[in-house]
Structure 1
Amino acid sequence: MTDFPCERLSITEVGEAFSSVLAVLHERAFPVKERWNAEAFENLLRSSGVSAFLACHAEMPVGFVLVRSVLDEAEILTLAVDPAFQRKGVGRAVLGKLFHVLREQEIIRVFLEVSVRNGAARALYAATGLVTMGLRRRYYPDGSDAEVMAAEITPML
């Protein structure tokens, strides 16, 4: 890990006005067939229960997480970090902020799907407390399986 000052990240909730920013970050982080465009982000952010948290370093967007909450559960829809900032704690910081917000909202469980081919993401999720719950066969456009991961959110006392 390099000398990246993660404590200088600002992580804020953003809305559909940031759809293009999220799409650019997603494009940088994902293979062509898995990229979401600005219209997809705009439509998602208009949906009930969908939120995005954008991480910026020196006012430059470097990563985000998109989540959908329903009742007391949440699903991480996607998380992207600019490749120049990967493996520097940005993903962990974004997830930390998300988990804090989910606790405040009294969410008790969070889950996601991640490609079995994405070892870095799987390691990040495991390091932040998510555990494997199952497998979805041929879930992704490239035919790869998705590992289903989940974590219980400890309530705030």
Structure 2
Amino acid sequence: MAAIRYIKGDATSPQAKGTKVIAHVCNDLGGWGKGFVLAISKRWPDPEKAYRAWHRDRAHNDFGLGAVQFVQVEPYIWVANMVGQRGIRPSKKNGPPIRYDAVDQCLTALADKAKALDATVHMPRIGCGLAGGKWSRIEPLVTIRLTAQGIEVTVYEA
């Protein structure tokens, strides 16, 4: 089993050879405009365009908590838009927007795609920024769903 590799750097500039998938958590409202998505949009316009179209046509597709959209942005780089956040603000009743069960579902789909592409996975500490999640809850999911399956994962810290 591989261990998660932690490095300083920018997850939109993955440090590895071969095919890479950059994973991040999105909300279920179709909102894209704060946090890590800004770094993605600065480098590539297609993940945002695809996410907004996916949300707009949600009555006819799988958009929702636990779903993942894969967008190829370069010959060897893909972005995984993972819907793991309910709304954008914490609520008194439901706490922070992060939904760990949805993130777990997303990571399962990410593992399947990474295996199919023979890719490594690159991410910030997903779900721990605007989504309000705790890395102590996310890290074990990443370990179970990805590294335990032999998928190399690099987490980037600023």
Q: Is the TM-score greater than 0.5?
A: no
| TM-score bracket for the superposition, by shorter chain length | 0.3 to 0.5
Greater relative contact order (CA < 8 Å, ≥ 6 in sequence): 2
TM-score (norm 1): 0.38
- The structure with more strand, counted as a fraction of residues: 1
